[in-house]
Amino acid sequence: MSVTVTTPARRKNYLNADYGIKSWLLTQDHKRIAILYLVSITFFFVLGGVMAALIRVELATPLGDMVEPDTYNRLFTAHGVVMVFLFLIPSIPAVLGNFLIPLMIGAKDLAFPKLNLGSWYVYNLGAILMVAALLRGGTDTGWTFYTPYSSTFADSEVILTALGAFVVGFSSIMTGLNFIVTIHRMRAPGLTWFRLPLFVWAHYGTSLIQILGTPVVAIAILLVAAERLLHIGIFDPALGGDPVLFQHLFWFYSHPAVYIMILPSMGVISELITAFSRKRIFGYKFVAFSSLAIAVLGFLVWGHHLFVSSQSIYAGLIFSVLSMLVAVPSAVKVFNWTATLYQGSISWQTPMIYALGFIGLFVVGGLTGTMLATLGIDMHVHDTYFVVAHFHYIMVGGAIMGYLGGLHFWWPKITGRLYSVFWSKISAGLIFVGFNLTFFPQFLLGYMGMPRRYHSYPEEFQILNVLSSAGATILGLGYLLPLIYFTWSMRYGERASDNPWGAYGLEWETSSPPPTLNFDEPPVVTTEAYDYLAMRDKKTAA
Amino acid sequence: MWKNVPFFPEQASTLAGEVDALYFTFLGISVFFGLLVAGLVVFFAIRFRRRSEDEIGRPEKAGIWLEIIWSVIPLAILLAMFAWGAKVYVQAFRPPGNAIEYFVTAKQWMWKFQHPQGNREINNLHVPLGQPIRLTMTSEDVIHSFFVPAFRVKADVLPGRYTTVWFEASKVGTFHLFCAEYCGAEHSMMGGSIIVMEPADYEMWLAGRDSGPSVIASGEELFKLKACNTCHRSDSATLAPILHGVFGEEVEFEGGGTQIVDENYLRESIMNPTAKLVKGYKPLMPTYKGQMTEDEVLQLIGYIKSLASDAKEDHGAVSDSSSPDPVPDEG
């Protein structure tokens, strides 16, 4: 505990370069902005988690006996809106991507530091609108805002929440734009495209989606507001509109948005698998291009959300087959990660446990996704708990496992401190077990026919719901632990070396935490990505 | 077959077995690949665990043939599953010709049904076993979704247009009806039951209550009451098109374009008559928007459709004889 007193004067880094609240709120350092984002999204993760906990408590019994139906509807809407727009979409890009992309490509910062800071303020402005909507009673449309319920019938804070999502979208666009320009223009000498870490490739794909998709959902949201406020008939048939049009516009963005959440996570996993196997990734180009393939194909599959929405049978057929295609690049990634382990030097460190857990959960989420893309299965399980289970396997089992794995991996770089190995492994175990117990029963519930967004349900669904709620308790505990030991580590954790994992990558060649301008000497890259042999030779030579 | 499997829904329609066969095949494939990947990951992670602190992995050359194999095999399997799924889906959304039509009107938060004989029910629907039943559905407010897990069918119910779904019950009993599309405060209470009865019991059930006028009779009444018959006459096409036999036929519009007359077109022509004007006519017809309930519009359309079958006597006979399933003897 007295470590801080006896430590000699440490070298300047981005954390101790300047002090005071102003040095944070007006910073243009990508690393500090990443920390700002980390604080914001952690807050909203906890908020969204509390909503989830309340939902699971309510569903422990068949009768809707804890909260009113209307309250329940506002709870699951808030859970979805907060988790999707305020946590998942910014999570890996805005925190880890922001921190690491300049480091990984040997740059001093992102291309537009002010735009980067601006994106955080825009994000918070949107978040404030959404929180204001919550404080005024919340919204009851579900995060999907389906019309004409949202545009005409709902008697809740639809406009404020939608406006919040609209504003937050701009922060996402700003981040994406910044990444694309940075990756194109600011790579270190010698760092060719095919020498880039796969984390960077994944973020490049993500950024494309952010820039191309977000405007469409922004337009859809504005149209809902226009119909609600001005009674312009766009979606409500009573006003001459088309209710299904909204679903097309919404999912044109929101399906690719799922890839905004999962692609960066896949990028993290590629880094973790290679670092803890100390081996070049198997099929580098296939993994890199699969990120782009997912980003592009992701724009062509939105109609699989409309198989039972009166969409024509032929449209259903086309969207089904396109959805099958998008599964192939995902499968390619999984097989390449698995093959990378072969002949590796595998270390069971905490981040690696997350990475291996990710593979298992993502496989379940991905395979059930292809089941949902199968027309004859979807018409039964559409809008049931099967869908809820599937997308939680992708977004929680996939995206959050990747986020936490990445956070555990780069934490020593970000803070210059280590955390408790013991507690972090316990936490990873609890999350894996708790997650499966929470969401696996929901697949069974869905096939049995329990629709989603139900406040009360027939008795035969109770056993599985109780299991799910019990799992959620374990999952909640698993998430609480990192909050505690990370906070502890910031002050009391052991000092980390520059490369505590012995991992390959430019970010590990600078100090922990890095100096404000990232590198003392501008790095020059002479080796391929994940070239552990060359790294060892260089070390031996030195 | 699946009677004693825990956490598994009953199979109570001819479709249910087909959906389940597809599902379990896909599940089997998924379990195989899931266990394959998980098994390899665990095996490699143990077999190749790090033995010394400065050990590094042994890099191998990426094998292009491996990449091809693990792209092409999943793709082939997925395309096969797509084709099978498409077959089941097309079957589920194409009602057979001998299906009997029932009307469904959904609203926050109830289901209203009308039997062809005229009987009305709320939240419960009695149907005969072994008879293909086609539901023509619409909503009075927001989007709802008709979902009967035991039948494995689901279709959204939209305001302002008709959607259809069909099923043939294969088991006597009472089965859950759920609203599957979130529709507001009482969404989870917007349920009911589908009660499947032996055809004879169903006839007795129908006979045991006052059915009121049949759908066609109500529609005919409305046709006079709303003065449709002043212009739409059976003997003169001067003011408005003759409606006899129009259903299922192609009509040509003023200013170009054609369309097959279906329920949605008839509905549009009643609510917004000038949107698609039949070639050779003037925009004389007033709108009936707001002047009829959704139930009444359905009855009127039911009547117009019956005119179609009157005019073409052979229509019903063709679909009956082409159907491989014998129509259960009524009564």
Which domains are assigned to chain A? 30-541 (1.20.210.10)
Q: Is the dihedral of CA B78, B83, B87, B90 positive or negative?
A: positive
Find all residues with CB under 8 Å of A527, minimum gap 6, and list them. A195, A534, A535
Q: Where are the alpha helices (DSSP H) in A146-197?
A: 158-185
Residue A126 clears pLDDT 80, i.e. is over it: yes
Model pLDDT for residues B161-187, shown as the tens digit of each residue = 999 999 999 999 999 999 999 999 999
CATH superfamily assigned to domain B215-313: Cytochrome c-like domain (1.10.760.10)
Q: pLDDT-derived band of residue B234, with 50, 70 and 90 as boundaries?
A: confident
**Closest B-chain CA to A341:** B44
Which chain A positions have a beta carbon within 8 Å of B181's beta carbon?
Answer: 146, 383
3-state secondary structure B249-301: CEEEECCCCEEECCHHHHHHHHHCCCCCCECCCCCCCCCCCCCCCHHHHHHHH
Model pLDDT for residues B11-37, shown as the tens digit of each residue = 999 999 999 999 999 999 999 999 999
**Closest A-chain CA to B62:** A283
- The ipTM, to two decimals, is 0.92
Contact A328 B71 (CB under 8 A): yes
Q: What is the rounded average pLDDT for all residues in chain B?
A: 88
Q: Are A99 and A45 in contact (CB under 8 A)?
A: no
Choose, out of B44, B144, B148, the residue to mutate when testing the contact with A (most A CBs < 10 Å): B44
Choose between A11 and B241: higher pLDDT. B241
Model pLDDT for residues A367-389, shown as the tens digit of each residue = 999 999 999 999 999 999 999 99
Which chain B positions have a beta carbon within 8 Å of A154's beta carbon?
Answer: 184
Q: Determine the Cα–Cα distance for residues B104 and B100; give it in Å rounded to an integer.
A: 13
Contact B156 A310 (CB under 8 A): yes
Choose, out of A150, A272, A310, the residue to mutate when testing the contact with B (most B CBs < 10 Å): A310
Which chain B positions have a beta carbon within 8 Å of A375's beta carbon?
Answer: 82, 85-86, 88-89
**Residue A297: predicted pLDDT:** 94
Q: Are B254 and B243 in contact (CB under 8 A)?
A: no
For chain A, what percent of residues have pLDDT higher than 90? 90
**CB contact A62 to B (< 8 Å):** no
Q: How many helices (H) and strands (E) does chain A have?
A: 19, 0
Question: What is the phi/psi pair of residue A179, to 5°?
Answer: -65, -45
**Closest B-chain CA to A380:** B152
Q: pLDDT-derived band of residue A494, with 50, 70 and 90 as boundaries?
A: very high
Q: How many CB atoms lie within 10 A of CB B17?
A: 14
Q: Minimal Cα–Cα distance from B280 to chain A, Å?
A: 26
Q: Are B118 and B218 in contact (CB under 8 A)?
A: yes
A-B C-beta contacts closer than 8 Å: 274
**Residue B330: predicted pLDDT:** 37
Question: What is the phi/psi pair of residue A26, to 5°?
Answer: -110, 15
Q: Minimal Cα–Cα distance from B301 to chain A, Å?
A: 19
Q: Are A327 and A369 in contact (CB under 8 A)?
A: yes
- Top-level CATH class of B100-207? mainly beta
Contact B186 A69 (CB under 8 A): yes
Domain boundaries, chain B: 100-207, 215-313
Q: Determine the Cα–Cα distance for residues B69 and B77; give it in Å rounded to an integer.
A: 12
How many residues comprise chain A? 542
Say which DSSP state A507 is in.
G
DSSP E strands, B140-274: 144-148, 153-157, 163-167, 173-179, 192-197, 250-252, 258-260
Model pLDDT for residues A298-357, shown as the tens digit of each residue = 999 999 999 999 889 999 999 999 999 999 999 999 999 999 999 999 999 999 999 999
**Closest A-chain CA to B264:** A310
Contact A452 B182 (CB under 8 A): yes
Q: What is the rounded average pLDDT for all residues in chain A?
A: 94
Average of pLDDT values for A509-527? 94
**CB contact A243 to B (< 8 Å):** yes
**CB contact B33 to A (< 8 Å):** yes
Model pLDDT for residues A402-437, shown as the tens digit of each residue = 999 999 999 999 999 999 999 999 999 999 999 999
Residue in B41, B78, B182 nearest the CB of A370:
B78
Q: Are A64 and B186 in contact (CB under 8 A)?
A: no
Q: Determine the Cα–Cα distance for residues A142 and A129; give it in Å rounded to an integer.
A: 17
Assign A531 to helix, strand or coil.
coil
Residue B328 clears pLDDT 80, i.e. is over it: no
- H/E stretch holding B90: helix B64-93
Model pLDDT for residues A138-177, shown as the tens digit of each residue = 999 999 999 999 998 998 999 999 999 999 999 999 999 9
Model pLDDT for residues A13-54, shown as the tens digit of each residue = 999 988 999 999 999 999 999 999 999 999 999 999 999 999
Contact A383 B142 (CB under 8 A): no
Which chain B positions have a beta carbon within 8 Å of A534's beta carbon?
Answer: none
Contact B154 A308 (CB under 8 A): yes
Residues 125-154 of B with CB under 8 A from A: 141-143, 145, 147, 149-150, 152-154
**CB contact B39 to A (< 8 Å):** no
Angle, CA of A33, A36 and A38, to the nearest 5°: 110
